[in-house]
Amino acid sequence: MAESTFEQILSTAFDYKTEKYVIVKKHKVGVLYRVIQLCIIGYLIGWVFVINKGYQATEDSIQSSVITKVKGVVLINSSDTGVSLWGPEDYVIPPNGDANFFITTNVTQIPNQTLGICAESDRIPDGRCSDHDDCPRGESVRAGHGIKTGQCLNKDRNGTCEIHGWCPGEESQKSHVLGKVENFTIFIKNFIRFPRFSFSKSNIPETQDRSYLQKCNYDESVHPYCPIFRLGDIINKTGHRFQDMAQAGAAIGILINWNCNLDIDSSQCHPKYSFIRLDVNTTVNSITTFNFRYARYYKNATGHDYRTLFKVYGIRFNVMVHGKAGKFSIINTIVNIGSGLALLGAGSFLCNMLLLYYMRNRDEDRNKMYDSIKAGSSRNDTSTRDKAQEEESREQQQLTSLKLQADFSKDAEASA
Amino acid sequence: MAESTFEQILSTAFDYKTEKYVIVKKHKVGVLYRVIQLCIIGYLIGWVFVINKGYQATEDSIQSSVITKVKGVVLINSSDTGVSLWGPEDYVIPPNGDANFFITTNVTQIPNQTLGICAESDRIPDGRCSDHDDCPRGESVRAGHGIKTGQCLNKDRNGTCEIHGWCPGEESQKSHVLGKVENFTIFIKNFIRFPRFSFSKSNIPETQDRSYLQKCNYDESVHPYCPIFRLGDIINKTGHRFQDMAQAGAAIGILINWNCNLDIDSSQCHPKYSFIRLDVNTTVNSITTFNFRYARYYKNATGHDYRTLFKVYGIRFNVMVHGKAGKFSIINTIVNIGSGLALLGAGSFLCNMLLLYYMRNRDEDRNKMYDSIKAGSSRNDTSTRDKAQEEESREQQQLTSLKLQADFSKDAEASA
Amino acid sequence: MAESTFEQILSTAFDYKTEKYVIVKKHKVGVLYRVIQLCIIGYLIGWVFVINKGYQATEDSIQSSVITKVKGVVLINSSDTGVSLWGPEDYVIPPNGDANFFITTNVTQIPNQTLGICAESDRIPDGRCSDHDDCPRGESVRAGHGIKTGQCLNKDRNGTCEIHGWCPGEESQKSHVLGKVENFTIFIKNFIRFPRFSFSKSNIPETQDRSYLQKCNYDESVHPYCPIFRLGDIINKTGHRFQDMAQAGAAIGILINWNCNLDIDSSQCHPKYSFIRLDVNTTVNSITTFNFRYARYYKNATGHDYRTLFKVYGIRFNVMVHGKAGKFSIINTIVNIGSGLALLGAGSFLCNMLLLYYMRNRDEDRNKMYDSIKAGSSRNDTSTRDKAQEEESREQQQLTSLKLQADFSKDAEASA
């Protein structure tokens, strides 16, 4: 070691230093070690590689565009509001083919409302009164429909405040369920893109039969890739009944899941549709009613506003697109193997600790597993052993030292 | 090794091979090593397990549905446009209870617009002119409201192009702030689902008191789980004042954060609300004004169109739902422990390098830490040591070789 | 080992135990090992630290708010519907400055529709008939516009069912492409926030020149940070032509990507714009047409409804904001270094396996790499070696045993 020339450095640079091992013939530990090894290898192969495809680079951030189109018409023949025909331009809100859209299932029309004076609905707590003082003038009714005029109408029994608002109020009309909505069809166009792999696909099957899309209806078993869905089917797949939803409204999620393995042919990458009800009813019934109001405004000959107010209950659909694409990547493969091996190392580390600290006659094992290097040089090193060698002959003494010289091969050279 | 029978293979299969250790009695390294170990263990326990709950499988992809409902009415009494009452169907845009909605706070109505000829607003740079040539016929005004007719009106001082568009223009009217908007209430229904654990919950407290939701108002301290928010409160929580926003508009984010530990009772999984202003004003004031226009169209008796244009400023609300659910998972636990142990291994690896390359008298240590295996067989092995043993007696020579036989136990059998 | 007093424990607590190494002078393995080490170090430095900035804590969940504003007007002069001027309030759907908006490029107006009886369009398969029985009374036309009355009109050649619906039907009118749409400008305000670092920014350049935003147009090279985009430019950047889209409609994604390194000045954190066509046409042409219908309702003097139906084709824009922010974090740095070292450990582990199981004369190497500990004490240990030493002289026998005593230094003390 005294003369460390360049050649030496170079040569030693390519020496391979590995641990010196001790074979412990204790099957308790051995078996434990093998079990741990098996677990880790199983985890590595089974979980990391087979299940999680650890050899692939994956892309989660999917670029997606959803265009929806609802078809179907329904006729309402009401005694009070007369005949009216509802088409997609009316019952789909907003009508612009968005991924989130609302389909009206239950409507109350209040035609010919004008600004004026009338009684607040007695369903609104803040609208009830028993005296004029309960209706301070100019104050708006909390969660109500107008501004209090200061009068309490019909105050002797369940009176309500008089309000300045759009009259007549909603009570004047009854609601109509659009019965045929079940038969409406929803055409969902979904275009996806995995930027990392610049891979694009749409959910529209590449069929030659051009009329296929005019005939087919999605059916998990028969037409799993037909992008046209019957509204009633969707609701049934969520495990609910249309009748329950039509009255009070609901929110339904249409999940499109793309799980593409780009190592195989892209034509194998198909969307998977699933349907869930999003507004699970956890509490009192009234909670999950989903309704809102909108109005159509008109002007009469004298230029005064009047309007038709629509209070609609319905089903809101959210089309949610998720996706994952995987493609072989050497880096991911190496990294996963590497970390797997690191785990194996950790396994043996674990066994060592068990062996050293928890097994019987551990002192002895430890001794066999450890050599000692004192802060000083190998001088003290040998002296530690004198105890063991007092009764030995001078010759043996010498032999031993020889042995030591030989035992620590390079050391021997040095001490020569 | 000659006869390697099945029994041998089996027996050795369960031998445990561990590293042979060297104890280095150098406290510098020892302390360093312990410190590193402590850090790693601290990191593993404190960071991975306690803080990041490494023993849990977590689910980030939350399925969420948001339904909003705004309540409140406001009366505008304008000298020019007369009395008008604004309800949710008017000031909430779109009115369909979406998670992203706009509430009008400041409106300019331009009633009775008809298609015709009038002057472009002088606020629009491209509309200004000093000569007819500045208004090429048929060209539209950039960022303007009509098509140039070729005339430059009132060109002597700050003239503007004559346009073919909806007249009269916006200048003819002044805006009205809807003062009472502060008192509007926003009812937010949020239904979430963690598909991985098929766990569903809503933000509506499961109370027996059915009238609770009609009375309560969200308040961090008093009613932290009341899903009804006063608009003024929301704005205050963002650290801004309603007056500042009402005039020019703003964008506010309502964050709902679900952090659910499913190892404990699900009733402990509550939403956390926070409110931020999204359109922080980083530059000149005019930037953050948020307004848009929409129109209501009418037909007069002769079937000609006329319209009322609304230019509205307001506050846009985005309800954003984030969430994380965790549940105990044996796999995650093992993996995290394993990688922690792997780190421990790395720790000792680090110390070795320090020991070998940076400590004093490292040659000597190295020698004690290394045995040597030459490319050839143990024959060359011994020969390397001859250097050290030239002056030794033939007997010692032989003894040494014996030692070698014994030293490498199995090897001895082979060379026998 | 017998008397293990507190001092001993304390002292040994700070002993550093490291593996005893074997130097294998086999350059095959050595070189392999070095190569593996280099790969791992290269991976660690190059991939983990330089490319993936492993020393930073990163934040992916960006809070973003997008406000869009489209400017431009276009005049339609149609023989049948007369002159009409389209402004943003008309052709932008919805008009409320959302991140997802639709711009009309091709419109068909059907004015003065009233509820009545007319023929279904012959383009609708379910509307065709050759006999009255093909049109069961009261049944709605699938994907059609009304309710069948039971009559089959003009049944001799390509007849269609008579329907009760809004008449006249769409065929009565022809469509008009809004030619000038190319010149419309889209002003995109994007405000982002990285909650973890509470860092906010907007995409509006902080310029002193207040008129900059009135003049500039986005241009990758000249004005890369101007937030105003010419519609025609956007389409060109997607690699398509406006003419192709205007007729049938399309969906375009405007991607805003924020990649902020918060270790350097935040003014260096800029948005990057890119534009893609989302509805790549993978199949028959008809697929990617994107149109929908909406109606404006009027009441005549007698209070009967009539409407103007608009069938619009157009381009839908989705502004998608992604972002990543990174900031130095000591924890991430340590963890990444640690796992890197763990990988190094794994590397040597790999080499061992190669060395032990795949190299020539592996028995021999193995022997040098292993000591043996039997289930019993070192007594059996020696006995195992007797096999190898039967023919040896008693003296050698004794010497060997001496060697053993010395070989396992501490062990010698114990057996003393």
pLDDT in tens, A189-246: 999 989 888 888 888 887 767 678 778 899 988 889 999 999 999 999 998 888 888 8
Closest CA of chain B from C387, distance in Å: 7
Report d(CA A342, CA A349) in Å as an integer: 10
Identify the residue among A52, A277, A282, A397 best suited for mutation to test binding to B, counting B beta carbons within 10 A and taking the highest.
A282
What is the pLDDT at residue B236?
Answer: 93
Q: C214 vs B143: CB contact, 8 Å cut-off?
A: yes
pLDDT value at residue A18? 61
CA B327 to chain centroid, in Å, comes to: 21
Q: Is pLDDT above 70 for C321?
A: yes
Task: Pick C296's closest partner by Cβ from B20, B297, B368.
Answer: B297
What integer pLDDT is reported at residue A392 of this predicted model?
A: 38
Nearest CA among A30, B363, B365, A347 for reference residue C19: B365
Partners of C67 on chain B (C-beta within 8 Å) are 251, 279, 290, 316
Question: Mean per-residue pLDDT for C92-117?
Answer: 92
Mean pLDDT of B166-180: 86
Distance from CA of C388 to the nearest CA of B (A): 4
CA nearest to C406, candidates A378, A362, B412, B370: A378
Res. C302: pLDDT tops 50: yes
Distances (CA, A) of A395 to A401, A416, B233, B375, B394: 10, 19, 97, 34, 14
Token pair 């959910």 is found at A203
Residues in CB range of A69: below 8 A, 6 or more apart: A88, A97, A186, A187, A189, C292
C72 vs B80, residue with greater confidence: C72
* Nearest chain B residue to C385, by CA: B409
State residue C366's pLDDT score: 56
CB nearest to A279's CB, from B95, B191, B296? B191
Question: Bridge-partner residues for A370, per DSSP?
Answer: B21
Mean of pLDDT values over A243-267: 89
Q: Are strands C56-59 and B63-71 parallel, antiparallel or unpaired?
A: unpaired
Q: Which whole number is the average pLDDT over A357-377? A: 54
- Those chains having 3 or more beta-carbon pairs within 8 angstroms of chain C are A, B
Q: Nearest chain B residue to A60 by CA: give it.
A: B61
Contact assessment for residue A86 and residue A74, using Cβ atoms and an 8 Å cutoff: yes
Work out the pLDDT band at A401, boundaries 50, 70, 90: very low
- For residue C283, give how far its alpha carbon lies from the nearest alpha carbon of chain B (Å): 31
Distance CA B319, CA B134 (A): 47
From the CA of C349, how many Å to the nearest CA of chain B?
11
| DSSP 8-state class, residue B196 | G
The answer to whether C222 is annotated as binding is no
Higher-pLDDT residue of C388 and A320 is A320
For the segment B96-124, the average pLDDT, to the nearest whole number, is 91
Helix ranges (H only) for B181-290 are: 212-215, 231-237, 242-248
Q: Which of A41, A349, A383 to substitute to test the interface with B, most B CBs within 10 Å?
A: A349
Which phi and psi angles does C214 have, rounded to 5°? Answer: -90, -20
pLDDT in tens, C143-171: 888 999 998 988 788 889 999 999 998 88
> Please, are residues B345 and A345 in contact by the beta-carbon 8 Å criterion?
yes
Which residues on adjacent β-strands are paired with residue B160?
B128, B153
How far apart (Å, rounded) are the C-alpha atoms in residues A371 and C19?
A: 9
Q: Identify the band that residue A121 occupies on the pLDDT scale cut at 50, 70 and 90.
A: confident
Contacts of A143 in chain B (CB under 8 A): 71-72, 185, 214
Q: How many CB pairs under 8 A join A and C?
A: 269
Note the pLDDT of residue B402. 33
Q: Across chain A, what does the average pLDDT equal?
A: 78
Contact state of C372 with B346 under an 8 Å Cβ cutoff: no
Distance from CA of A227 to the nearest CA of B (A): 22
Q: What is the share, in percent, of chain A residues with pLDDT greater than 90?
A: 29
C72 CB neighbours in chain B (<8 A) are 140, 142-143
Chains within contact range of chain B (3+ C-beta pairs < 8 Å): A, C
Cβ burial C12-38 (10 Å sphere, 16+ → b, else e): eebbbbbbbbbbbbbbbbbebbbebee
Chain C residues with CB under 8 Å of A102 CB are none
Partners of residue B108 on adjacent β-strands:
B311
More confident residue, A288 or A165: A165
Q: Do B389 and A377 touch (CB under 8 A)?
A: no
Nearest residue in A to B70, CA atom: A143
Mean pLDDT of B277-306: 80
Q: Detail the DSSP E strand segments found in A120-206.
A: 128-129, 146-153, 159-167, 176-177, 185-194, 199-202
CB contact under 8 A, C23 and B402: no
Percent of all residues in chain B with a pLDDT value above 70, rounded to a whole number = 74
- Count Cβ atoms within 10 A of the Cβ of residue C306 and give its class: 0-12 exposed, 13-18 middle, 19 or more buried: middle
Query: What would the pLDDT profile of B205-263 be if each residue is shown by its tens digit?
Result: 877 676 787 788 999 888 899 999 999 999 999 988 888 888 888 899 999 999 999 99
| pLDDT confidence band for C209 (50 / 70 / 90) | confident
Name the residue of chain A whose CA is nearest to B336's CA: A343
pLDDT tens by residue, B136-160: 998 888 888 899 999 898 878 888 9
Nearest CA to A375 out of B345, B347, C11 is that of C11
Judged by CB atoms closer than 8 Å, whether chains meet at B65 and A286 is answered as no
Output the furthest CA–CA distance in chain C (Å, rounded): 132
Specify the pTM.
0.80
Single out the residue of B406, C100, C355, C262 nearest to residue A400, CA to CA.
Answer: B406
What pLDDT score was predicted for residue A268?
A: 86
Residue C286 has pLDDT above 90, yes or no: no
Tell me the mean pLDDT in the region C243-268: 89
CA B291 to chain centre: 28
Q: Is residue B281 very low, low, confident or very high in pLDDT (cuts 50, 70, 90)?
A: low
pLDDT at residue number C407:
35
Q: How far is the alpha carbon of A276 from chain B, nearest alpha carbon, in Å? A: 10
Q: What is the pLDDT of residue A232?
A: 93
Q: Which residue has the higher pLDDT, C340 or B72?
A: B72
Q: Do B287 and C204 touch (CB under 8 A)?
A: yes
Q: What domains can be seen in chain A, in order of their start residue?
A: 20-55+329-368 (1.10.287.940), 65-121+169-327 (2.60.490.10)
More confident residue, B393 or A164: A164
Which pLDDT value is given to residue B121? 86
